[in-house]
Amino acid sequence: MVQYNFKKITVVPPGKDFIDIILSRTQRQTPTVVHKGYAINRIRQFYMRKVRYTQQNFYEKLSTIIDEFPRLDDIHPFYGDLLHVLYNKDHYKLALGQINTARNIVAKISKDYLRLLKYGDTLYRCKCLKVAALGRMCTVIKRISPSLAYLEQIRQHMARLPSIDPNTRTILICGYPNVGKSSFMNKVTRADVDVQPYAFTTKSLFVGHADYKYLRYQVIDTPGILDRPFEDRNIIEMCSITALAHLRAAVLFFLDISGSCGYTIAQQAALFHSIKSLFMNKPLVIVCNKTDLQPLDGLSEEDMKLVMEMKSEAMKTIPQGGDPSEEGVLLTMSALTDEGVMAVKNAACERLLEQRVEIKMKSKKINDCLNRFHVAMPKPRDNRERPTCIPEAVLEAQAVAAAKEKKKLERDLENENGGAGVYSVSLKKHYILANDEWKEDILPEILDGHNVADFLDPDILERCEELEREEGLRLEEAAAQDAFMIDGHDELTKEQREILGQIRKKKAMLIQEHRMKKRTAESRPIVPRKFDKDRKFTTKRMGRQLSSMGVDPSAAVSRVRSQSRGRKRERSLSRAEGDDMEIDGQHSNKKLRTRSRSKSRPIEEVAPGEGFKDSAQKKKAIKKSRDSVKNRNKEARRGEADRVIPTLKPKHLFSGKRGNGKTSRR
């Protein structure tokens, strides 16, 4: 799976086109008509909207550029060094930094001019401020035009880079120029790399894919490398060095033993020894190419000695614990005659696969897998051969199982019972019930006039009533404590406070008892107080009870009577008496209220059982319900099903001639 796809980076427009895109979008997406007769607030909003919209478009466009270009510190080191080799990361970071600075400057300009537009007093002044704001933003974009052009060139070049996955199975081909690397690449993959009989035909990395043991391998063809110091190597050679340094791959070092590439075996061996530090802990295969021109056995003693030294160095790159055999380290092939090509590919894939398995075995993840499988390796106890033996009973059981009919599917049952439209699949036959005869029973939906779902929890109503009862008791106690206040409460003694607490508790219990009776009464009629034969709630009885507790009942009795007659006294006030009430020489229009009325609950307050999470959600629901009937009410519909189309032009209003002075009635 490729992790980096540079082809998806958005095109970076030039500075002039960038400005034209944003300004034309502002012209098309914002209002264009304003008159000096408008209110000044409307004129300000008109021009503030243009400035704000332009700034937002600049900000989004520049942010897209910054976010889509890769950050060299966050991506894989292979891609980070490759981009540094190709583009110089200092210039790259400087260009992106200028884009980021321009984005911040545009935001600051917009903020400053919006503050000025907020206090613009005329249309002309607001328009001048708008022009100045948009002009300064465009000037900032013009200044970063070179950076935008540079990033566009980088984007085009990055889109042409091959899609290399640094973490997958990889085979890397390297060596001197014109030694047959691209020819081998074309043989083992479907890649079509240009092959020419001169050096540096391949100027960049090319990627192909090959299969081995049902696994996909990534084959990378690198440009040729010359034997010289690192600081003298050009960009083409550094691409190969970067790939060798950062990719965990099997390395194929190609060696032209015929000398037709223009370089001797001694020069190629010197290159091998100069870059052998890049081969450490990587499977290395030395491939002697062009054996059709010069066989390996026909080399001179000096050249053979150099080849053997390279082979010994290749053996040192095998990690500790690996297979120390010499097989697969030095191979011969000919890309012209296809001799040994597949052997080289298979050897590289096999060595890479062994190394990857070995690394996984050394990792901590292997502990999670070891308990899932066990490979038994029996040790022979003598020299006797014991071939595999399958018992006859097992063979007979297999034969019986093969002879049995296969399990009937629903399609087979359908064909046997008349086909589609006649046979319907029973969805109940797989039900898990205590008795199989119950599977086809009809599920009752109503039982004794009630829904079956109501019987899932028979105690739910009692529990709800308990909760409501407890909540009501607490609310009533709190209300009783707030409502029942006596003047001079702070001056009461300890005994009087205890008596007062008993009175309040008694009152709360009476209120709760009354609520309970009222709730459970259902259809019982409410008996007025004058027909209360028990005479439970009278001022005389209250006075007797207070006197028995040692409290003077006169204040409480007078307070109850004043509350019962407070509204009549308020209405009986004459206008003259109301006019005489003055506070500091001013007439008071406040009404006399002897007791507080109960306040209605606000519409947005959530009551228990309504199903809303909070008041904000309820407000939103109320607004949606009102909006849904707005058009219906505007059209004078009786309801949602009203489809009556009234007469749009009543005849009595639009027929006949009008005389002078008759226009006003319309």
CA distance 562 to 570: 11
Going along 195-294, which residue ranges are E strands?
206-212, 215-221, 250-256, 284-289
**pLDDT, tens digit (0-9, with 9 covering 90-100), for 325-366:** 556 688 888 888 888 888 888 888 888 888 888 877 777 777
**pLDDT, tens digit (0-9, with 9 covering 90-100), for 224-273:** 888 888 777 888 888 888 888 888 888 899 888 888 888 888 888 888 88
- Of 112-126, 186-200, 333-347, minimum mean pLDDT range: 186-200
* Closest to 151 (Cα-Cα) out of 3, 4, 56, 15: 15
Q: Return all residues near 634 (Cβ < 8 A) that are at least 6 apart.
A: none
Residues present in the chain in total: 666
CA distance 4 to 166: 10
Q: Return all residues near 534 (Cβ < 8 A) that are at least 6 apart.
A: none
Residue 642 amino acid letter: D
**pLDDT, tens digit (0-9, with 9 covering 90-100), for 315-324:** 776 655 555 5
Strand order through the sheet with 215-221: 206-212, 215-221, 170-175, 250-256, 284-289, 330-332
Domain spans, the chain: 6-158, 163-362
- Alpha carbon 449 to its chain centroid, in Å, reads 49
Please say whether the beta carbons of 328 and 351 come within 8 A.
Answer: yes
- Can 6-158 and 163-362 be said to share one CATH topology? no
Mean predicted lDDT score pLDDT of the chain? 80
Helix (H, G, I), strand (E, B) or coil at 450: strand
Helix (H, G, I), strand (E, B) or coil at 404: coil
**Predicted pLDDT of residue 571:** 45
Please compute the mean of the pLDDT values over residues 192-200 and round it to a whole number: 75
Fold adopted by 6-158: Four Helix Bundle (Hemerythrin (Met), subunit A) (1.20.120)
Q: Parallel, antiparallel, or unpaired for β 215-221 and 170-175?
A: parallel
**pLDDT, tens digit (0-9, with 9 covering 90-100), for 543-573:** 888 888 888 888 888 887 776 554 444 444 4
CA distance 50 to 55: 9
Kindly tell me if the per-residue pLDDT of 536 is higher than 70. no
* Closest to 253 (Cα-Cα) out of 227, 281, 277, 287: 287
Domain boundaries 163-362, corresponding CATH code: 3.40.50.300
Residue 662 amino acid letter: K
Please say whether the beta carbons of 143 and 170 come within 8 A.
Answer: no
Which helix (H) or strand (E) covers residue 348, if one does? Answer: helix 341-362
